[in-house]
Amino acid sequence: MSIFQELADREHVFEFLTQVQSPVDVRHGPILYLEDVNVSFDGFKAINNLNLTIDDGELRCIIGPNGAGKTTMMDIITGKTRPDTGSVWFGSRHNLLTMNEPDIASLGIGRKFQKPTVFEALTLFENLELAMAADKRVFPTLTAIMKPEFRDRIDEVLEMIGLKDLRDRLAGILSHGQKQWLEIGMLLMQKPRLLLVDEPVAGMTEQEMERTAELLTSLAGKQSVVVVEHDMGFVRSIARKVTVLHQGSVLAEGTMDQVSNDPEVIKVYLGEEA
């Protein structure tokens, strides 16, 4: 179609008017793909021929004994640690090993560390506002904060994390669990495609753990979520598919029942709890 025909065609949708699509291409494969990844620290193999695939929208739990390589694996995905060999892809287009940490984050990979780091002297609303302001992709100027659509997004996230009633209270008054949810909310402001969550329920009450399980399961589908967690009860309550890491490689993968009945897993890990 010529440019003149396009201009005359009222039904034609011009490319510049269409919504910007996420750059992550998952049409023909997983959202995250690690192949034959190796990392040594002073000759010690922390990650040893690691292969891992996460599907778009999946909620995956990663378990494994201390020193299994879980944190190192997260560090590799976010660009904090560079592997010695192997490949790490985000969708089929983005080779994460060629990108730095800020570029990987702006592609839509959000990481929640174990300890919450919210701004206690600011309200919940302001915390979420700041999280949005930190995202240069969707939010080029601070003055844009007052736009109604951004306020709507903040209210939507407050609803998702179950803290809408505390919208204008200071984050300092929140319980430990509520701070964790707020921090998850801060990541959600940037609409990540993949959320990496490190030990979300450490230090939480039973009730907070239940609420966290609901939150993480509600996020799956809309985004992919990878949870590293030691609490087996919690993992059982949310897990669809579990990956067991041991000595830097995948020892077993499957449902919680499958992996917890696997003799190798029982020997190296779950046996400690049996």
Ligand X SMILES: Nc1ncnc2c1ncn2[C@@H]1O[C@H](COP(=O)(O)OP(=O)(O)OP(=O)(O)O)[C@@H](O)[C@H]1O
Residues that bind ligand X (CB under 6 A): 41, 46, 64, 66-72
Q: Which residue has the tokens 């702006």?
A: 106
Neighbours of 178 (CB within 10 A): 22
Minimum Å distance from CB 245 to ligand X? 6
Closest CB to ligand X among 69 and 110? 69
Closest CB to ligand X among 70 and 112? 70
Minimum Å distance from CB 28 to ligand X? 31
Minimum Å distance from CB 199 to ligand X? 8
What's the CA gap between 200 and 149, in Å, rounded? Answer: 29
Minimum Å distance from CB 260 to ligand X? 18
Q: Where are the alpha helices (DSSP H) in 122-175?
A: 124-133, 148-160
Which tokens hold the place of 267? 């020997």
Closest CB to ligand X among 71 and 218? 71
Closest CB to ligand X among 21 and 66? 66
What's the CA gap between 51 and 208, in Å, rounded? Answer: 33
Closest CB to ligand X among 64 and 83? 64
Which tokens hold the place of 70? 């879980």
The DSSP letter of residue 19 is: P
List of long-range contacts for 140-148, beta carbons under 8 Å, 24+ apart: none
Minimum Å distance from CB 172 to ligand X? 28
